[in-house]
Amino acid sequence: MPRTARGRRIAAVAVAAVTALALSACGGSRAGSPSLTSKGPITIWYSNNEQEVTWGKQMVKAWNADHPDQTVTAQEIPAGKTSEAVISAAITAGNAPCLVLNTAPFAVGQFEKQGGLVDLSRFPDGDSYIEGRSGAVADQYRSAVDGDFYQLPWKSNPVVIFLNEKLLAKAGVDPTDPSLGTYSGFLAAARKIVESGAAKVAIQPAPTNEFFQMNNDFFPLYAAASGGKQLIEDGRATFDDATGRQVADLWRTLYEEGLSSPEQYQGDAFADGYSAMAIVGPWAVSYYKDVDWAAIPVPTPDGMPVDDIHTFSDAKNIGMYTACQHKGTAWDLLKFATSEQQDAQFLDITGQMPIRPDLASTYQDYFSKHPEYGLFGSLATRTVEVPSGPNTVQEMQTFRNAWTSSVIFGNGSPADALASAAKTIDTLEAQP
């Protein structure tokens, strides 16, 4: 071997060794305080949603006024492609805040696997506080790995169907017609809307391939039709059944007949009158101020009393992160931020639903003053969440790939697509 070539090779190995050393040094041990009782100043992040920022500021101000030795510094989640990517990066870097008041349930399993989340069940009153505040709904937020709580169920945005009353009137559809709650009635109305030219399409959920888009078409209808089944139960996918196929067939018909478009609309389809219906949460009440809307629960195959209907929660929760040095303060703040009084403020300022079983009765005044939120308040106690395992995102992406291919673009039968997705998801469920 020529001397220079050997020299170059030695230099390359040396560079690799130095790099590996430097990288292993970067990953050295710097765990957060293991103590759950330590008190002191902490940092929290909240959503950049305007109303949530308003609520967050008043909450922090109220806390700081009473706890000068445990001050809270709050900021919006730093900008990134997604909040989850930012939080994941912060976990890896060891600089996550103590609390993130916008932790997506689908990401919790991954954060837990990363060692980024504090097990809230380890606080002496952890389980009792969470179960006491959220009731039986809290169970679906337990870890799929060890059954503990790594997130505090905070607030939900129960998904419903919004109707544009003017466009429906133009199409000759009565928004109060109970048959809209059945698949046949829903399809009949959709056909009338498009055939009459009242709107270009009847309903337009995002037809794109992001894993979370299943929460805007399949999942709410599956939750309703199945009477509140989760996507995965006992480590197996549930949706490869008659109910799942009914939901898929409904959407396939909508796309096949041009009642929904496979092309993403550039803008807000509902606000622009491109579609006459939309799948939305309570945020839509303040957002669609310029539209005369009515809200109905998502349809079910043969119709169902409103009080029996379940829907997707679209919840955001609170996670406590292991980099936190003062977990005792973080836990106290967490309880303060989700107290009955702060939940009242939250409901009033944001219109989002605190996850409480007695929501309607506890905040009776609010719902009497704001009847437009009544349906959301009722549904909030019957919400269904995505799975909480470490492979949830991979599983949701698997489902979405099958869905876009068969249901939206018409390649192959939806039944085969659901069966294939369920099989892959079962395999993923078995993986750590």
Partner 1 sequence: MSAAVGTRRTQERANPEAGLKHRLLGKNPLGLLFSAPYLVFVLAVFAAPVVYAVWIAFHDFFFAAPGADVSYPFVGFANFVYAFSNAQVVQSFGNVGVFLLINVPLTVVLSLLLASALNKVLHARVFLRVSFYLPYITASVALVGVWLFLFGGDGLVNNLLGPLAPNPSWLVNQGLAMPVIAVYVTWKQLGFYILLYLAALQNVPKDLYEQASTDGANAVRQFFSVTVPGVRPATLLVLLVSTVTGANLFTEPYLLTGGGPNGSSNTPVYLMYQLGVEQGLPDVASAIGLVLVVAVLVIAYLQNRFAGGRNE
With respect to partner 1, which residue has the nearer C-beta, 54 or 409? 409
Stretch that binds partner 1, among 14-22, 134-142, 347-355, 357-365 (CB under 8 A): 14-22
The minimum distance between CB 201 and partner 1, in angstroms, equals 11
With respect to partner 1, which residue has the nearer C-beta, 113 or 192? 113
35 is an interface residue for partner 1 by CB under 8 A? no
Q: Which of 47, 88, 275, 329 binds partner 1 (CB under 8 A)?
A: 88
| Residue 163, beta-bridge partner list | 277, 294
With respect to partner 1, which residue has the nearer C-beta, 84 or 314? 84
Beta strands in 209-309 (DSSP E): 232-233, 236-237, 275-280, 293-296
Q: Which of residues 207-236 bind partner 1 (CB under 8 A)?
A: 208-211
With respect to partner 1, which residue has the nearer C-beta, 89 or 242? 89
369 is an interface residue for partner 1 by CB under 8 A? no
Instruction: Pull the structure tokens for residue 250.
Output: 């409904």
363 is an interface residue for partner 1 by CB under 8 A? no
Which has the closest alpha carbon to 293: 425, 170, 164, 126?
164
The minimum distance between CB 421 and partner 1, in angstroms, equals 13
Q: Which of 1, 5, 22, 65 binds partner 1 (CB under 8 A)?
A: 22
> Cα separation of 381 and 102, whole Å?
20
Instruction: Pull the structure tokens for residue 295.
Output: 């809200």
* SS3 call for 75: strand
Alpha carbon separation from 344 to 130, 226, 365 (Å, rounded)? 17, 32, 10
Q: How many CB atoms lie within 10 A of CB 58?
A: 14
> Cα separation of 30 and 320, whole Å?
17
The minimum distance between CB 417 and partner 1, in angstroms, equals 11
Which has the closest alpha carbon to 138: 354, 351, 422?
354
Q: Which of 409, 416, 423, 430 binds partner 1 (CB under 8 A)?
A: 409
Q: Which of 38, 114, 179, 339 binds partner 1 (CB under 8 A)?
A: 114
Q: Which of 36, 42, 91, 108 binds partner 1 (CB under 8 A)?
A: 91
> Cα separation of 292 and 168, whole Å?
10
Q: How many CB atoms lie within 10 A of CB 188?
A: 15
Q: Is 235 left (phi over 0), alpha (psi -120 to 50) or beta?
A: left
Q: Which of 311, 350, 388, 404 binds partner 1 (CB under 8 A)?
A: 404
Q: Which of residues 115-154 bind partner 1 (CB under 8 A)?
A: 115-116
The minimum distance between CB 151 and partner 1, in angstroms, equals 16
The minimum distance between CB 99 and partner 1, in angstroms, equals 15
The minimum distance between CB 152 and partner 1, in angstroms, equals 19
> Cα separation of 213 and 211, whole Å?
6
Strand pairing of 72-76 and 42-46? parallel
Sign of CA dihedral 91, 93, 99, 101: negative
291 is an interface residue for partner 1 by CB under 8 A? no
Number of residues that bind partner 1 (CB under 8 A): 51
Q: Which of 31, 65, 79, 136 binds partner 1 (CB under 8 A)?
A: 31
Buried-state track 134-164, b at ≥16 Cβ within 10 A, e below 16: bbebbebbbbbeeeebbbbbbbbbbbbbbbb
Q: Which of residues 312-331 bind partner 1 (CB under 8 A)?
A: 322-323
With respect to partner 1, which residue has the nearer C-beta, 107 or 161? 107
Residues that bind partner 1 in the complex, under the rule CB under 8 A: 7, 15-16, 19-20, 22-23, 27-32, 81-82, 84-85, 88-89, 91-94, 96, 110, 113-116, 208-211, 261-264, 266, 322-323, 390-391, 393-394, 397, 401, 404-405, 408-409, 411
